[in-house]
């Protein structure tokens, strides 16, 4: 539990920078004395608007860095500064750094207070006062909010956050059609994600764009705050260093520090990638793989990291080892001021580091392939799995390798023929994380739904969505067996503007013949694409392994893209994936193996059906569309309606901490038109106050999961009181009044 503190802020001494202030001759531009950035971000600072929405929000006691960029008059320098919250000076150490980002005026400085925390639930005013060397003073004001949460003992012990990267509603629908089919207008069966009983939608904008990339898209779930595109776990700043941005404490760090919970990160992508990175690191450079993976290990005692599985082995090998991707350019250090305040190692730029060896020496069981993963002991308490040099191969190619064998499959070309499926990784992760009696947070990502949607390889992302759904089923079963678990399934954004445009009007054999003519639009669009009633109901046959026996069926489902790049299309399953630049293999180089195109314009060219892109990029990209969130388990009913992506974090933390306000909030949501007030809980039971908003008869009902309700009382006489004598043994009971 969070320890109760009576003081508002952490303590340290204010220090002046006058003795060390210098002018930076390389910066030629000049500006009047001004504060150009105040962090945390706020509309009060940026536009003078004090009204909601409050941009930056934090949990009580959640740590974050406070920072400002100040530019002096020409020939002057900034000699001192202090921050205040609600008019009270923060006594913590103030540090200064040169603002060396492009466009910064000469002499500009970045002024910081690190690892600040506030336990008072309110909207707070933040001010910076800086003094120039000629004694002129500049002041700027912003604000932030500490969200009210009162922890109780009925929080969700385990939190599982499942992210289908890039998975919009069409990706879910296409996976359902492919896996289960549709008959006479009804899905023959739901996906596992469809079985989660509570659903809402999520807006996905980042701090600097309506269209997010994956780093801020995941960072909002990890920290509760917006980030710039290409950054996670931090706010933007005005330096070029990748490890010094203002940090925000993540869900793993907060719950490990407050309650000793473990953190697990599982993905089908390279582990340095945006979503896993956002849950275990803090950087302004999502591409700095060596630095991000170093943070996983160096800050494991802060995050509670005990499970780490995915691709990305190249970052864990010293640069003297074949397959290593470690370079000085992909590494970074944490400045001493950050390391000291946050209690973490500063690290060094060390491309020769044997990170894998350090994990093993620290007691992590290492699984390099599926066979080793299967052999992991059920009593293992730390687990590292690295199954590819970079992104793991996608589900279609892994399944083809398992079905066909023989050494001639895509996974063989990549040099990793024995890679696990996501549901297999999920089972092991949950088993290991469950060893901690304090509970855990797990982030489990189906990462290549996004990557294959970028590449407009429709069959591959649909099969990856099925793989993700199989992992969801493992988590669903875990939650049913462990009712003190919360599971949410969502995405970080939508990718490609993908949608189901209809189905083919011809057989697969006919489609192949049409492509062979090379007559393009007339053969492959006009006489093939069936819309509306011409689409019918595509029928895929699912194998014993849970995946389609083939995607090259007669009258197949067809996918279009609203945010597409130029491409050739023939609607036939691509035998080889595009060479994604982040996919490395052993020997020979992948671009020397026949059949591996480099971009969408080198694929499906024989049919000569050219689809003009909506964008000039080489591949499709993200859209600003809302995405779906589904939830089950402890207090999952709180997830509903339209939510900002940062709202998801605070709802998760309400559930994880057992926020006292949740009980009344959920009872009121489910109690229309009656209201139940819990007057107190004693050894005798829960004393309830019942109020009705209209005449007639009411039924008092109780539940623990918002799915099954038990009738306790029926009465026409309200207001009334009622003693629920079962409450002491069922502390998690919720109540509602139903009107007859």
Q: In terms of domains, do 638 and 508 share one?
A: no
Which residues fall within 8 angstroms of residue 142, CB to CB, at 6 or more apart?
A: 38, 40, 41, 42, 44, 45, 125, 126, 127
| DSSP for residue 358 | H
Integer Cα distance of 345 and 226 in angstroms: 26
Integer Cα distance of 326 and 706 in angstroms: 49
Q: In terms of domains, do 486 and 503 share one?
A: no
Q: Is 320 exposed, middle or buried (0-12, 13-18, 19+ CB in 10 A)?
A: exposed
Q: Tell me the CATH number at 47.
A: 2.60.40.10
Backbone phi, psi, residue 83, to 5°: -105, 150
Integer Cα distance of 86 and 183 in angstroms: 62
Domain count across the chain: 4
Q: Is residue 320 domain-resident?
A: yes
pTM of the entire structure? 0.90
Integer Cα distance of 308 and 605 in angstroms: 40
Is the backbone peptide bond immediately before 165 cis, with ω within 30 degrees of 0?
no
Q: How far is CA 485 from the centre of its chain?
A: 18
Among the three residues 82, 113, 146, which one is the final residue of a domain in this structure?
A: 146
Q: In terms of domains, do 357 and 243 share one?
A: yes
Is the backbone peptide bond immediately before 177 cis, with ω within 30 degrees of 0?
no
Q: In terms of domains, do 431 and 309 share one?
A: yes
Q: Is 525 exposed, middle or buried (0-12, 13-18, 19+ CB in 10 A)?
A: middle
Helix or strand run (H / E) with residue 675: strand 674-682
Query: In the chain, count of helices (H) and strands (E)?
Result: 19, 34
Q: Is residue 397 domain-resident?
A: yes
**Would you say the C-alpha torsion 651, 654, 656, 662 has a positive or negative sign?**
negative
Q: In terms of domains, do 310 and 402 share one?
A: yes
Among the three residues 117, 146, 175, which one is the final residue of a domain in this structure?
A: 146
Q: Is residue 208 domain-resident?
A: yes
Q: Is residue 616 domain-resident?
A: no
Backbone phi, psi, residue 219, to 5°: -60, -35
Q: Is 644 exposed, middle or buried (0-12, 13-18, 19+ CB in 10 A)?
A: middle
Among the three residues 603, 633, 656, which one is the final residue of a domain in this structure?
A: 656
Q: In terms of domains, do 128 and 170 share one?
A: no
Helix or strand run (H / E) with residue 300: helix 300-303
Q: Which pLDDT belongs to residue 276?
A: 97
Whether 65 contacts 114, CB under 8 Å: yes
Q: In terms of domains, do 433 and 290 share one?
A: yes
Beta bridge pairs of residue 703:
734
Q: In terms of domains, do 554 and 410 share one?
A: no
3-class DSSP string for 626-671: CEEEEEEECCHHHCCEEEEHHHHHHHHHHHHHCCHHHHHHHHHHHC
Q: Which pLDDT belongs to residue 696?
A: 67
3-class DSSP string for 495-548: ECCEEEEEEECCCHHHHHHHHHHCCCHHHHHHCCEECHHHCCCCCCCECCCCCE
Q: Which pLDDT belongs to residue 573?
A: 97
Integer Cα distance of 492 and 338 in angstroms: 28
Summarised one tens digit per residue, pLDDT across range 282-299 is 999 999 999 999 999 999
Backbone phi, psi, residue 431, to 5°: -65, -45
Q: In terms of domains, do 504 and 584 share one?
A: yes
Q: Is 725 exposed, middle or buried (0-12, 13-18, 19+ CB in 10 A)?
A: exposed
Q: Is residue 153 domain-resident?
A: no
| DSSP for residue 133 | T
Q: Is residue 467 domain-resident?
A: yes
Integer Cα distance of 128 and 35 in angstroms: 8
3-state secondary structure of 436: coil
Is the backbone peptide bond immediately before 35 cis, with ω within 30 degrees of 0?
no
* Beta strand 485-490 pairing with 186-187: unpaired
Q: In terms of domains, do 291 and 175 share one?
A: yes
Q: Which pLDDT belongs to residue 551?
A: 98
3-state secondary structure of 724: strand
Q: Is residue 361 domain-resident?
A: yes
Integer Cα distance of 591 and 22 in angstroms: 50
Whether 460 contacts 394, CB under 8 Å: yes
699 is written with which tokens? Answer: 């039924």
Q: In terms of domains, do 692 and 594 share one?
A: no
Q: In terms of domains, do 490 and 510 share one?
A: no
* Beta strand 158-164 pairing with 485-490: parallel
Integer Cα distance of 100 and 598 in angstroms: 37
Q: Is residue 599 domain-resident?
A: yes
Domain extent, residue 573, equals 499-611
Residues of the chain with confidence (pLDDT) below 50 = 1-28, 584-588, 672
3-state secondary structure of 111: strand
Q: Tell me the CATH number at 305.
A: 3.40.720.10
Whether 655 contacts 594, CB under 8 Å: no
């Amino acid at each position: 539990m969070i320890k109760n503190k009576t003081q508002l802020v952490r303590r340290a001494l204010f220090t002046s920078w006058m003795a060390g202030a210098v002018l930076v001759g390389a910066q030629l531009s000049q500006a009047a004395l001004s504060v150009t950035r105040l962090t945390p971000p706020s509309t009060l600072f940026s536009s003078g608007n004090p009204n909601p929405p409050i941009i930056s929000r934090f949990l009580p006691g959640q740590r974050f860095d406070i920072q400002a960029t100040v530019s002096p008059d020409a020939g002057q320098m900034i000699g001192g500064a202090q921050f205040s919250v609600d008019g009270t000076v923060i006594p913590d150490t103030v540090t200064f750094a040169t603002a060396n980002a492009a466009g910064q005026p000469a002499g500009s400085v970045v002024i910081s207070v690190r690892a600040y925390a506030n336990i008072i639930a309110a909207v707070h005013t933040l001010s910076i006062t800086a003094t120039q060397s000629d004694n002129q003073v500049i002041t700027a004001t912003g604000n932030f909010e500490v969200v009210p949460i009162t922890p109780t003992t009925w929080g969700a012990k385990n939190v599982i956050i499942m992210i289908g990267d890039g998975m919009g509603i069409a990706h879910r629908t296409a996976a359902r059609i492919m896996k289960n089919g549709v008959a006479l207008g009804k899905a023959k069966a739901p996906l596992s994600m469809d079985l989660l009983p509570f659903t809402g939608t999520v807006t996905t904008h980042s701090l600097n764009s309506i269209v997010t990339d994956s780093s801020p898209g995941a960072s909002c779930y990890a920290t509760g705050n917006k980030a710039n595109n290409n950054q996670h776990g931090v706010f933007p700043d005005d330096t070029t260093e990748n490890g010094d941005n203002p940090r925000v404490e993540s869900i793993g760090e907060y719950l490990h520090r407050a309650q000793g919970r473990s953190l697990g990160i599982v993905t089908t992508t390279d582990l340095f990638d945006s979503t896993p990175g956002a849950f275990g690191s803090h950087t302004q450079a999502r591409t700095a793989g060596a630095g991000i993976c170093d943070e996983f290990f160096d800050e494991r005692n802060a995050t509670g990291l005990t499970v780490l599985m995915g691709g990305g082995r190249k970052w864990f090998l010293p640069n003297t080892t074949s397959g290593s991707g470690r370079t000085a350019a992909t590494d970074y250090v944490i400045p001493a001021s950050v390391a000291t305040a946050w209690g973490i190692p500063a690290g060094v730029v060390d491309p020769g580091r044997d990170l894998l060896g350090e994990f093993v020496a620290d007691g992590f069981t290492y699984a390099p392939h599926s066979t080793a993963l299967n052999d992991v002991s059920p009593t293992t308490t730390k687990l590292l799995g690295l199954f590819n040099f970079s992104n793991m191969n996608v589900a279609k190619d892994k399944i083809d390798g398992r079905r066909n064998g023989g050494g001639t499959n895509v996974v063989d070309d990549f040099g990793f023929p024995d890679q696990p499926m996501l549901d297999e990784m999920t089972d092991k992760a949950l088993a290991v994380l469950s060893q901690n009696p304090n509970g855990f947070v797990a982030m489990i990502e189906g990462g290549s739904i996004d990557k294959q949607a970028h590449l407009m390889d429709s069959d591959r992302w649909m099969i990856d969505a099925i793989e993700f759904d199989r992992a969801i089923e493992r988590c669903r079963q875990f939650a049913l067996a462990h009712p003190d678990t919360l599971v949410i399934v969502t995405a970080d954004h939508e990718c490609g503007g993908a949608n189901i445009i209809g189905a083919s009007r011809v057989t697969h054999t006919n489609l192949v013949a049409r492509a062979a003519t090379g007559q393009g639009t007339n053969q492959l669009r006009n006489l093939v694409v069936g819309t509306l009633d011409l689409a019918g109901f595509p029928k895929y046959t699912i194998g014993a392994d849970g995946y389609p026996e083939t995607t090259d069926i007669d009258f197949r489902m067809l996918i279009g893209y609203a945010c597409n790049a130029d491409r050739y299309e023939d609607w036939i399953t691509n035998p080889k994936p595009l060479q994604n630049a982040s996919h490395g293999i052993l020997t020979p180089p992948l671009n020397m193996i026949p059949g591996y195109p480099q971009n969408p314009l080198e694929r499906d060219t024989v049919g000569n059906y050219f689809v003009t892109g909506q964008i000039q990029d080489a591949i499709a990209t993200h859209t600003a569309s809302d995405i779906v969130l589904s939830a089950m388990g402890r207090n999952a009913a709180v997830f509903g309606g339209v939510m900002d992506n940062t709202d998801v974090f605070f709802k998760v933390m309400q559930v994880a901490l057992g926020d006292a306000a949740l009980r009344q909030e959920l009872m009121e949501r489910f109690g229309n038109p009656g209201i139940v007030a819990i007057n107190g809980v004693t050894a005798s039971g829960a004393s309830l106050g019942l109020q009705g908003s209209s005449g007639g008869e009411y039924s008092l009902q109780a539940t623990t999961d918002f799915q099954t309700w038990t009738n306790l009382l029926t009465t026409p006489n309200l207001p009334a009181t009622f003693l629920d004598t079962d409450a002491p043994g069922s502390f998690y009971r919720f109540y509602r009044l139903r009107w007859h």
